[in-house]
Amino acid sequence: MLKFIKHHMTGIDGIEIYPIISLSIFVLFFVGMLIWAFREDKSKIEELKSMPFD
């Protein structure tokens, strides 16, 4: 009986790769973003921060 669940999508070749691809895309994206965010220079940050008050 279990096969009805188990084999519903496992029939597609290489389906296991999906979660792995997705996780890698995310991790790469996230690390890249962290690096960029922290290289941002201070004065610009201050300028952006104060936008609601200008």
Partner 1 sequence: MELEKFEYDNKIVRNFTVATMIWGVIGMLVGLLAATQLVLPDLNLTSWLTFGRIRPLHTNAVIFAFVGNGIFAGVYYSLQRLLKARMWSDKLSNINFWGWQIIIVSAVISLPLGYTSGKEYAELEWPIDIAITILWVVFGWNMFATILNRRVKHLYVAIWFYLATFVTVAVLHIVNSFELPLHFMKSYSWYAGVQDALVQWWYGHNAVAFFLTTPYLGLMYYFIPKASGRPVYSYRLSIIHFWALIFIYIWAGPHHLLYTALPDWAQSLGVVFSIMLIAPSWGGMLNGLLTLRGAWDKVRDDVVLKFMVVAVTCYGMVTFEGPMMSLKSVNIISHFTDWTIAHVHIGGLGWNGMLTFGMIYWLIPKIYKRELFSKKLANVHFWLGTLGILIYAIPLYWAGFMQGFMWQDFNPDGTLVNKDFLDTVTKLKPYYTLRAIGGGIYIIGVFIMMYNVFKTMLIGKLEVNEAVEAPSLPKLIGKEEGEHWHRVIERKPVRMIIVSLVVILIGGAVEIIPTFLVSSNVPTIASVKPYSPLELEGRDIYLREGCYNCHSQMVRPLRFETARYGEYSKAGEFVYDHPFQWGSKRTGPDLHREGVGNKQNRPDSWHYLHMLEPTDISPGSIMPSYEWLIDDDLDKTYSERKITAMRTLGVPYEIGYEEKVLEEMEVQARGIAENILKDLQPDDFSPQQVNKLKEKEIIALIAYMQRLGSDIHKDSEEILNK
Please give the residue ranges that form the binding site for partner 1 (CB under 8 A). Answer: 1-2, 4-12, 15-16, 18-19, 21-23, 25-26, 29-30, 33-34, 36-41, 44-45, 47-54
| DSSP summary character for residue 1 | -
Phi-psi region of 13 (alpha: psi -120 to 50; beta: other; left: phi over 0): beta
Shortest separation between residue 45's beta carbon and partner 1, angstroms: 5
Tell me how far, at minimum, the Cβ of 15 lies from partner 1, in Å: 6
Least distance (Å) between residue 29 CB and partner 1: 6
Sign of the CA dihedral 8, 18, 30, 52? negative
